[in-house]
Amino acid sequence: MKKRIGRKDLILIGVLLAAAFLIWLIITRMQPAAGASAVVTVDGDVYGTYPLSQNQEIPIMKGEKRTNLLVIKDGKADITEADCPDRLCVHQKPISMTNETIVCLPNKVVVSIEGSTESGIDSIAN
């Protein structure tokens, strides 16, 4: 028990770091392009799809209550207002790349960015 950190310990930590790095590489490869639209889902259902090219403010309503305010400005989507106590979603940075997300867990609101190639079906469905 005298030894503080051994060779096996370092190997295990190294393997974990390598695995994390690998997963990071894979995920960044999957989201290279600038996105075209912001998709808002509430409770897992699509609430709406908004193009990033157009500056606009979208209030996200849950019944009568406005839970979050989504602002699209200069091609970036950001949540600027929320009625939840911790307001973690407001503190998250504006997003513009595909598969980037802003999450509001208490309100179950997810804003994610989609590319232009796959949004064709969505825009018809909406």
| Chain residues in the site for other proteins (CB under 8 A) | 1, 3-6, 8-9, 12-13, 16-17, 19-21, 23-24, 27-28, 31, 41, 43-44, 85, 88-89, 91-92, 99-101, 103, 105-106, 108-110, 112
- Provide, rounded to whole angstroms, the least separation between the CB of residue 123 and other proteins: 19
Q: What is the dihedral of CA 54, 57, 62, 67, to 10 degrees?
A: 130
Between 26 and 125, name the residue whose CB sits nearer to other proteins. Answer: 26
Distance, in Å, from the CA atom of 60 to the CA atom of 76, rounded to the nearest integer, reads 17
- Provide, rounded to whole angstroms, the least separation between the CB of residue 97 and other proteins: 10
Between 99 and 116, name the residue whose CB sits nearer to other proteins. Answer: 99
Distance, in Å, from the CA atom of 45 to the CA atom of 117, rounded to the nearest integer, reads 21
- Taking alpha carbons only, the member of 66, 62, 46, 16 closest to residue 125 is 46
